[in-house]
Structure formats: structure tokens, C-alpha cells
A and B are shown apart, each in its own frame.
Chain A
Amino acid sequence: MFLPDVDTMTAVLYFGLFAMSFDFVSGYTGYLSFGHAVFYGTGAYFVVLAANGKVPLVPYDAPFLLLVVLGGVLAVVLSLLIGVVSFRLSGVYFAMITLGFSQVLYVFVRDWDYVGSSPRDGPAVVGPPDAVAPSFNVGIPGVDALNLAIGGLAGDSIEGLFGVVNLSSTEVTYFMAGLVVLVCYFAMQRLVHSPFGRVMVAIRENEERAEAVGYDPFRYKLAAFAVSAFFAAVAGGLFAGVRRSVSPDNSLFFLVTGDALLASIIGGFGTLAGPLYGRLFDESVREFLSKEGAGGGLLPYLRNTLPEGVLQTETIGGLTVQEGIGAFLNGHAALYIGILFVLFVLYVPNGILGTVRDRLGATTVAKWAGARLTSGGDGGSVRASSED
């Protein structure tokens, strides 16, 4: 009932994946990668440019999943270049040098007219000059029957599967994007729970000690950064695939990293699934405060339930209640999310998921989930499992 509509939920999925990848490196190794949007943008731009036939050697109608993976590989190369320089620094300096790199790329792409006729607004998927734009399929490449196209208007819809299941193209997009995000989540979760993940946490807790034990922190940090960049680019590719367009300001700008940070903190820094909940929370608040409020918004509710007399009542400075609602609630969710964020930093430093785990006890959650899932992930946090 309070969940946002399907379009917004799709955005929660791909942006949640980006926030997760941000948390993978920042939450687990403690190095705040403040220019992480650069990898998200790399993935997004790669998919759009390749589909427009502008990437050399890559055919414009290459399978979408292949483009996403190639975008990820490109991001890995980029992350190694940035990481080799940046990981000589720590703390605030690391945050700033990664921010510096990302801003250089942001400004460069914003003025690079190769990407489209107006690079400031960013390119859309239009296909090469003499061909139609390709559709983006999620599924097993090469097997037509096991592919479904994503994208709000361009995607597939399903009618009468098993006689009952009917899905609109937005719903198909939601489920297929969810499938990719789920696979990526399990992959990252596997890494976090592996010995590799344990070393990442060791670096976060005490880097000197990790080194003294015999690990080379630099190589581990670089590897974590590269893995994170790969999944950030996958998230960006998914974002471009769903939206079928990209702009510098919604992919490469430093405030995009800020949004990921927001999601991580609210959801739980250093809990892999946390950022997804954080983003869900974030989007729900936005939707709740928006004018339409598809998920049962506050504004239509107030407009319908408050009597006319109250709405016309004047408050301070001749401002009627109705005008006040319009001025302070309509489209200003950022204010309330900002206030919530500050409150979370002050009073709930572990975020939603971290706090829930602390309250219930991570082992309890792990056991509970383990009892229900006889095979596969244990659902707990790093602290949960000691048997590896």
C-alpha cells in the first residue's frame, strides 16, 4: 500500500544496486569512494553509445547483457587506473582525489559532442543513423525464447502466461531488472562472506594489523575497488537500459554519489543489502510527498480530508494552509530526506538493516534464514558466520 509504483520500484532496484556497489567498497573497507558515480556513468554511457553504434568494434545490436558486462569491464580498467593513484591516500584525501577524478570526467563528458548533439542533456538510444534503435533484452543471449525486452515503452509485455499471468511492459522491466540486481547481489554477497571479504573488514577495522598479519592491503583495496566499479557499471547499464537515455547530471555528477551515500547510511553502512532498503525508504518518502503520490501520497490525502475552512485559514503572514502545504510539501522531499538523514547519522548510525541486526542479533537472523533456506546464502552479516 505504501510501496511506490512499479516505475519507481525499478529505479529503486538499479539505483539500489549502485548504492550496494558503493557500500561494497566504502562500507566494507572504510575508504569513502566519493567519485563512485564515475563508474555508474561509465556503464550507462557505454550502453547508450554502443546502442547508437558509436563504440568502435562493438556492433550496435550486440546483446544488452553483453554490453552491460563490457561496460563493467571498462569500468574495471578505469577503476584500476584511478585506484593505483588514489589508494596511496586515505581518509579525506582519498575521498577528495576520487571526487577529483570523477569531476574531471564529468566536465569532459558534459562538453564532448561525440556523445550526442547536445552533450549537456546527454544522449538517448536512437540507434545508428541508418538503422532502428535496438531493444534491450535480459535473458540468455542467443536464445530468443528466453529473452524479454526491458524499457517502459519499448519493452515486452506478457499476456496469459500459464493462463493467468499478465504483465505490462513496466512490470516486465521491473522483474527483469530485479533478476539482474539479484544475481549481482548474490555475487557481491558471496565475495563479502569469503576470506576476501574478511580481509576487507580487517582493513576497515585496522589496516596496520591486517598488514602485520601478512596481507597486502593495497592489493585487496584495489581488488575491492575494481569489483565495486564493475557492479556500479552494471547498475549504470541497467539504468540506461530502462531509461533508454542518460545525461551527465543523472549519472556522472558528484551528487549522484551523494544519493548512494544517503541510501547506504539510511539502510545501513557496511551491510550489503542495506543500501537497497535505504533507497526504497528514500524513494517511498519522495513518492509520499509528491503531488500525485501513486502509493497513497500525503498531498492528495490532505487535500481530500482537510475541510475547506481549514485549508483557507490564514496562518503567519497571510499564508493560507493550502498555500503552506503547497510551499512546504509539494516536491520538497529533499528537505525531509535531508532531515531524516541527519537524524539517522546522529541517532541510528548503523542504519535500518544494521540496527535490526543488532537488535535481533545477527546470528539469530542467520539461523532463522538458514533454517528456512536449506541451501544458499545465510542472510546474515559478516559477523554472523564464523565457519568459513
Chain B
Amino acid sequence: MTGLGIDLVVAQSLVDGLGQFLRPSTLFSVLVDGLAKSALFLMIATGLTLIFGLMGVLNFAHGSLTMIGAYLGGLIMVLTVSQGTPNGTRLAVFFVGLFVVFGVLAALGGVIEVGLIRPLYDRPPIYQILLTFGVTLVLDELVRIVTLFYDIQPVADWQAALGTKPTWFTDPVDLGLASVRGLALFEILFGVATVVAVWAFLNRTRYGLVVRAGSEDSEMTEALGIDVRRVFTVVFALGAGIAGVAGMLLMWDKNWGASVPLAAETLLPAFVVVIVGGLGTFRGTVYAALIVGLADAVTTWWFINVVDLTFLPEVVVFAILVLVLVVKPRGLFGLAEVGGH
């Protein structure tokens, strides 16, 4: 009897939860939250998918590059923004900082590609994974040494960087149906801008044409007189730069924040998004980021308001990965063969 009683209580709370969940205001705020998460997932996965699509290298150092971007962006903000800086200036500094972070990370990415990955193209792909895995260890430990030395807490989030965002983003914004976090709207806009920019780069520029040709058939592209090796370097630098930009965006979000473990925290969801979408397809990555972000937001809402399962949102990301790979082994938009060279 008691078992049945508990079941009834659970069922009752689930029904209540569903009623609450289906209210327009709740649905709307969960949707905005989910889109913001999708935008962040997209930001951290885009660079990874560009690199894999062209070169067939699964870059394990991607999370570390994001993490370095977060610290670097945070550093720029903390050094230039003071208590009385107006909102507009803060935002302007942020965009200037974006260019700096992009440039630095792109340069670092270029160096890694030329110095470390280039000698390995003739070996089995496993060695490229292993190498980038080693690069992660080195980068993480270097950042840890620096943050320890300057007494920036390496484990907890860097509060100073969190405090530099304009007050626009900390205050809730009323959108009629529900009020949402200002930062969520900024993240969504940023994500959309990234999708448009990357799409335009791949489909509307000459270099994008070369990149697409290189990922279709690098030998043929080479035969047409294009230096594919140099395209590899440029795309790796680009991917690293985007990773840094993503880090700078994450620095303001209190759910992420600049910290050394950010490297692993962003790497795993980035892998999930890239694999679910189908390795190396930008379109798939966009769809997968939407799916993962929305699923994450929905389960987060359920566990806060209805069921007491703290692991739910974290498990759901990997559950999606496993489910998609079981049903469609190549991911949603995956091709049979990618990054052939």
C-alpha cells in the first residue's frame, strides 16, 4: 500500500509539474533559456566542427583554447573596466577584447598546427587525437601555474571577471510573456551572428569555397593548384580563434565562468554537439546545438521545479549522444567519409 501511495504522490507532482510547465510564460522562459544554452553550445562546437570537417582532426585541445579565451577576455575586462564604467563603454571594450582574443588564439592555433600537427598527417588519425590530448595537458597546467602564481583562484569561478558585465545583462528584461535574463538575449544574438558569419564565410567567400573543396576532396583541390596545407593552417587558426571568442562569452555567464576546469566542462558538450550533428557538418552542428540546448533547459527546469534529480541535466546531454549514435551511427547529418586526406 505504501508503495502505491508514494507512486500516487509522485504521479500527482508530475501532473502538477506538467500543468505548470505548459503555461505560456514558463514555456517561453524555458525556450529563451534553451536558446541561450544552444547559442553557447554552438559557439564552443563551431571551431571544432570546422577543423574536423576539413582536416579530420578531432581537436582535444579545443576546451583548453576556450578556457584560455575566457581567462584572456576576463583579464582584458578586469584591467579596463572599473566600478563607474558606463554600460556602453563596457560593451565596446568587450567587442574590442573579442578581436584581441580572437587574434591571440588564432595565432596560438596556427602555431600548434604548423609545429605539432603538420608532422603527423602521414600517420594514422589516432596520433592527431593523441597529440591534441597532450597539448591540452600542457595548456591546462600552464594556465594553472599562472593563475596560482597571481593568486587567481584556479578552481572556483573568477568573480572579478563575472562582475565586469554591463548592468543591462544582470537585470531581467520584460518581454511581455515573461521576464528573462538580459545576458540570455545577448547570448542568443551572439549565437545567431556566429551562425550567419560562419555560413557566409563558407558559402559566400572565395576562401570558403576552397575550404569546402578541401573537405570534399583534398587531393583534387591540391591538384587544382591550391596549397591545402596552408588552408589547413588557416582553418585551424580560425577554429582556435572561435574557441577563444566562445570562452570570452562564457566568462560573463555565472553558470560557466573563467576557471581551469572549464576546459573539460566545455570540451565534453562540444564533442556531443559535434558528434550528434554528424562530424564535420556545420549544418548538423547548428541543429545539434539547438537540440542539446533545449533538452538541457527543459530538464534543468524539471529538476529545479518538480523532480529531485540533480544529475538529470548533465546526464541528458550524454544520453542524447548515446541515443543518436545508436539510432544513426553517423550522427544526424553525418557523411560516410569525412576529412579524407
Of A93-101, A132-140, A150-158, the one contacting chain B is A93-101
Does B123 make an interface contact (CB < 8 A)?
Answer: yes
Chain B residues with CB under 8 Å of A93's CB are 275, 279, 325, 329-330
A349 to B119 CA separation, bound complex (whole angstroms):
12
A32 to B124 CA separation, bound complex (whole angstroms):
12
Q: Mark B307-334, 1 if CB is under 8 A from A, else 0.
A: 0011100110011011001100110000
**Cβ of B129 and Cβ of A100 under 8 Å apart?**
no
In whole Å, how far is B304's beta carbon from the nearest beta carbon of chain A? 15
**Cβ of B145 and Cβ of A335 under 8 Å apart?**
yes
In whole Å, how far is B22's beta carbon from the nearest beta carbon of chain A? 27
**Cβ of A327 and Cβ of B125 under 8 Å apart?**
no
Among B125, B264, B318, B322, the residue within 8 A (CB) of A92 is B125
Among B310, B321, B329, the residue within 8 A (CB) of A111 is B310
A258 to B137 CA separation, bound complex (whole angstroms):
10
Among B119, B130, B148, B325, the residue within 8 A (CB) of A96 is B325
Of A40-48, A102-110, A165-173, the one contacting chain B is A102-110
**CB nearest to B130 among chain A residues:** A345
Chain A residues with CB under 8 Å of B315's CB are 104, 107-108
**Cβ of B144 and Cβ of A332 under 8 Å apart?**
yes
Among A107, A108, A346, the residue within 8 A (CB) of B116 is A346
Q: Mark B77-114, 1 if CB is under 8 A from A, else 0.
A: 00000000000000000000000000000000000000
A127 to B311 CA separation, bound complex (whole angstroms):
27
Does B185 make an interface contact (CB < 8 A)?
Answer: no
Among B126, B131, B141, the residue within 8 A (CB) of A332 is B141
Does B268 make an interface contact (CB < 8 A)?
Answer: yes
Does A342 make an interface contact (CB < 8 A)?
Answer: yes
- Beyond A107-B311, A254-B268, A346-B116, whether A100 also contacts B321 by CB under 8 A is yes
**Cβ of A342 and Cβ of B131 under 8 Å apart?**
yes
Does A311 make an interface contact (CB < 8 A)?
Answer: no
Does A59 make an interface contact (CB < 8 A)?
Answer: no
Chain B residues with CB under 8 Å of A359's CB are none
**Cβ of A100 and Cβ of B311 under 8 Å apart?**
no
**Cβ of A92 and Cβ of B279 under 8 Å apart?**
yes
- Beyond A111-B310, A349-B123, whether A96 also contacts B138 by CB under 8 A is no
- Beyond A107-B315, A111-B310, whether A328 also contacts B129 by CB under 8 A is no
**Cβ of A107 and Cβ of B129 under 8 Å apart?**
no
- Beyond A100-B321, A104-B318, A346-B120, whether A335 also contacts B127 by CB under 8 A is no
A334 to B260 CA separation, bound complex (whole angstroms):
14
Of A83-91, A186-194, A195-203, the one contacting chain B is A83-91
Chain B residues with CB under 8 Å of A111's CB are 309-311
How many residues of A are counted as interface, with CB atoms below 8 angstroms from the partner's CB atoms?
38
Does A215 make an interface contact (CB < 8 A)?
Answer: no
**CB nearest to B326 among chain A residues:** A85
In whole Å, how far is B290's beta carbon from the nearest beta carbon of chain A? 19
A97 to B331 CA separation, bound complex (whole angstroms):
11
Does B236 make an interface contact (CB < 8 A)?
Answer: no
Does B272 make an interface contact (CB < 8 A)?
Answer: yes
**Cβ of A100 and Cβ of B134 under 8 Å apart?**
no
A254 to B268 CA separation, bound complex (whole angstroms):
10
Does B271 make an interface contact (CB < 8 A)?
Answer: yes
In whole Å, how far is B336's beta carbon from the nearest beta carbon of chain A? 12
**CB nearest to A255 among chain B residues:** B264
Does B58 make an interface contact (CB < 8 A)?
Answer: yes
Q: Mark A247-274, 1 if CB is under 8 A from B, else 0.
A: 0000000110010010001000000000
In whole Å, how far is B323's beta carbon from the nearest beta carbon of chain A? 9
Chain B residues with CB under 8 Å of A265's CB are 130
Q: Mark A333-370, 1 if CB is under 8 A from B, else 0.
A: 01101110110011001000000000000000000000
In whole Å, how far is B341's beta carbon from the nearest beta carbon of chain A? 14
Main SS of the interface on chain B?
A: helix
Does B133 make an interface contact (CB < 8 A)?
Answer: yes
Among A85, A91, A258, the residue within 8 A (CB) of B125 is A91
Does B200 make an interface contact (CB < 8 A)?
Answer: no
Does B142 make an interface contact (CB < 8 A)?
Answer: yes
**CB nearest to B310 among chain A residues:** A111
Chain B residues with CB under 8 Å of A32's CB are 126, 129
**CB nearest to B334 among chain A residues:** A93
Among B125, B279, B314, the residue within 8 A (CB) of A107 is B314
Chain B residues with CB under 8 Å of A328's CB are 145
**Cβ of B129 and Cβ of A95 under 8 Å apart?**
yes
A327 to B141 CA separation, bound complex (whole angstroms):
11
A335 to B224 CA separation, bound complex (whole angstroms):
43
**Cβ of B325 and Cβ of A334 under 8 Å apart?**
no
**Cβ of A341 and Cβ of B137 under 8 Å apart?**
yes
Question: Residue among B119, B134, B264 with the most chain A CB within 10 A?
Answer: B134
In whole Å, how far is A128's beta carbon from the nearest beta carbon of chain B? 25
**Cβ of A89 and Cβ of B120 under 8 Å apart?**
no
In whole Å, how far is A371's beta carbon from the nearest beta carbon of chain B? 35
A258 to B136 CA separation, bound complex (whole angstroms):
11
Q: Mark B144-168, 1 if CB is under 8 A from A, else 0.
A: 1100110000000000000000000
Does B173 make an interface contact (CB < 8 A)?
Answer: no
In whole Å, how far is A332's beta carbon from the nearest beta carbon of chain B? 6
Chain A residues with CB under 8 Å of B119's CB are 346
Chain B residues with CB under 8 Å of A95's CB are 129
**Cβ of A100 and Cβ of B322 under 8 Å apart?**
yes
**Cβ of A108 and Cβ of B311 under 8 Å apart?**
yes
Does B135 make an interface contact (CB < 8 A)?
Answer: yes
Among B58, B133, B271, B309, the residue within 8 A (CB) of A261 is B133
Q: Mark A66-94, 1 if CB is under 8 A from B, else 0.
A: 00000000000000000001001101110
A334 to B133 CA separation, bound complex (whole angstroms):
13
In whole Å, how far is A252's beta carbon from the nearest beta carbon of chain B? 13
Q: Mark B37-65, 1 if CB is under 8 A from A, else 0.
A: 00000000000000000000010000000
Among A91, A92, A100, A335, the residue within 8 A (CB) of B138 is A335
Interface residues of B in 246-302 (CB under 8 A from A): 264, 268, 271-272, 275, 279
**CB nearest to A89 among chain B residues:** B329
- Beyond A100-B322, A337-B137, whether A342 also contacts B311 by CB under 8 A is no
Interface residues of B in 220-237 (CB under 8 A from A): none
Knowing that A335-B145, A339-B138, A349-B123 touch, tell me 16 more A-B residue pairs with CB under 8 angstroms. Answer: A30-B126, A96-B271, A99-B268, A100-B325, A104-B315, A107-B314, A107-B315, A110-B311, A327-B145, A334-B140, A337-B137, A338-B141, A341-B133, A341-B137, A345-B127, A349-B127
8 pairs, A vs B, C-beta closer than 8 Å = A91-B125, A107-B311, A108-B315, A111-B311, A261-B130, A338-B137, A338-B141, A346-B116
Listed from nearest, the 6 A-B pairs whose CB atoms lie closest are: A338-B137, A335-B141, A111-B311, A338-B138, A342-B134, A341-B134
